[in-house]
Amino acid sequence: MPATLPSFKPETATDRLILPLDVATVEEARAIVQETKGVVGVYKVGMQLQFAGGLPFAEELAREGHRVFLDVKLLDIDNTVQKAVENIIRMGMHFVTIHAYPKTMRAAVAGRGEAPVCLLGVTVLTSMDTEDMKAAGYNGDVEELVKTRTIAARAAGMGGIVCSPLEVGQLRELAGPDMVLVTPGIRPAGSDAGDQKRIMTPGEAIAAGSDYLVIGRPITQAADRRAAAQAVVAEIEAAL
Ligand code: C5P
């Protein structure tokens, strides 16, 4: 990353908690933000909400002073990705995801320039295993591909990567000390895993070296969302 970019490393335990607003409407998302204000570091607006007014809502959150993660997973021709990133910067986003193809990441970095936004490379979706990748025409091992793409993300000047918490240990060295490692697939002990297969608890993920934890349903589906978020932050704090 250019020396002029700010560090995107988290400072507090709360900073490290990313809450995905994976709900059908902006009204529901707004209610979740109201309930969890101050105990969540970053709100993530992903594909579901983007198709239901999520983009103006993401800008609204940023204007209110929240850190916002726009999970758009960009992949297109270089010029389009570069121009998309230029516009996303104007929205005041803190994190933005790009599929970790080397060319695509270089285009995104050209669009970012020295703007204070952390571009995150999505190495290989954690829902994909070696069989799924083979079906898609990739014959190598998924773990090797994740490593290759992590090295490419660093070389391109990305701010970090999204990866499985189980990969953090081996990726830190390849990613270097400055890139942030963002990990979904986190489940507090005793909570329902849902469709996540390769999971770690918040404490385990922090101990493994994750910088940021994406934790959705265990918080958004809790009867008391604020208490659920506070419990996760306490577990992060204890693991630091
Ligand atoms: O509810 P849950 O904690 O499973 O939410 C995880 C979030 O992280 C979702 O928004 C999902 O889209 C996202 N994510 C993921 N695995 C990836 C990349 C993103 O679960 N590899």
Q: Whose CA is nearest to atom 15 of ligand 1?
A: 184
Question: What is the whole-number distance in angstroms between the Cα of residue 125 and the centre of ligand 1?
Answer: 9
Residues 6+ apart with CB under 8 A from 41: 10, 12, 14, 15, 16, 17, 18, 67, 212
Given ligand 1 and candidates 71, 195, 214, which is best to mutate, with the most ligand atoms within 8 Å of its CB?
A: 214
* Any domain includes 8: no
* Any domain includes 4: no
Give the tens place of pLDDT for each residue, 32-88: 999 999 999 999 999 999 999 999 999 999 999 999 999 999 999 999 999 999 999
CATH code, 137: 3.20.20.70
- What is the distance between the alpha carbons of residues 179 and 162, in angstroms, rounded to a whole number? 11
- Assigned token pair, 8: 């995107």
* Any domain includes 135: yes
pLDDT at residue 2, as a whole number: 55
Contact indicator for 149, 103 with CB cutoff of 8 Å: no
Helices (H), the chain: 26-36, 47-49, 55-63, 78-90, 102-112, 130-135, 142-156, 168-175, 202-208, 217-220, 225-239
Question: Which position has the token pair 């091992």?
Answer: 141
pLDDT at residue 198, as a whole number: 73
Is the pLDDT at 196 greater than 80? The verdict is no
* Any domain includes 7: no
Question: What is the whole-number distance in angstroms between the Cα of residue 196 and the centre of ligand 1?
Answer: 8
- Assigned token pair, 182: 């963002």
Question: Which position has the token pair 């570069």?
Answer: 82
What pTM was estimated for this model as a whole? 0.95
pLDDT at residue 35, as a whole number: 98
Choose among 163, 149, 160: nearest CA to 104: 149
* Any domain includes 22: yes
Domain enclosing residue 32, as ranges = 14-239
* Any domain includes 9: no
Choose among 158, 151, 150, 145: nearest CA to 107: 158
Q: How confident is the model at residue 199 (pLDDT cuts 50, 70, 90)?
A: confident
pLDDT at residue 114, as a whole number: 94
Question: What is the whole-number distance in angstroms between the Cα of residue 3 and the centre of ligand 1?
Answer: 31
Residues paired with 120 in a beta bridge: 97, 160
> Is 73 among the catalytic positions?
yes
Q: How many domains does the chain have?
A: 1
Question: Which position has the token pair 């516009």?
Answer: 87
Contact indicator for 61, 68 with CB cutoff of 8 Å: yes
Give the tens place of pLDDT for each residue, 85-140: 999 999 999 999 999 999 999 999 999 999 999 999 999 987 888 888 899 999 88
Give the tens place of pLDDT for each residue, 224-237: 999 999 999 999 99
Beta carbons within 10 angstroms of residue 165's beta carbon = 27
Give the tens place of pLDDT for each residue, 27-39: 999 999 999 999 9
pLDDT at residue 127, as a whole number: 80
Rounded to 5°, angle at Cα 227 from 221 and 232 = 85
* Any domain includes 207: yes
* Any domain includes 5: no
